Amino acid sequence: MRYSVSLRKNEEFKDVYKTGTYAAEKELILHVKKNELGINRLGISVSKKVGNSVVRHRIRRLVKEAYRINEEKFGCGYDLVFSARKDTKDCTYLMIESVIFRLMKRTGVLSKTV
Number of domains in the chain: 1
83 found inside a domain: yes
Is 112 part of any domain? Answer: no
pLDDT attached to residue 111: 72
Residue 29 has pLDDT above 90, yes or no: yes
In a domain, 78, yes or no: yes
Domain contains 48: yes
Phi, psi angles (nearest 5°) of residue 25: -125, 180
| 113 falls within a domain | no
**Structural domain containing residue 84:** 4-107
Per cent of the chain over pLDDT 90 is: 72
Interval 66-80: pLDDT, tens:
999 988 888 888 999
The CATH number assigned to the domain holding 20 equals 3.30.230.10
Question: For the sheet containing 4-6, what is the strand order?
Answer: 4-6, 40-45, 78-84, 28-34, 21-24
Q: Is position 56 within any domain?
A: yes
pLDDT in tens, 40-60: 999 999 999 999 999 999 999
Mean pLDDT score, 90-96 = 93
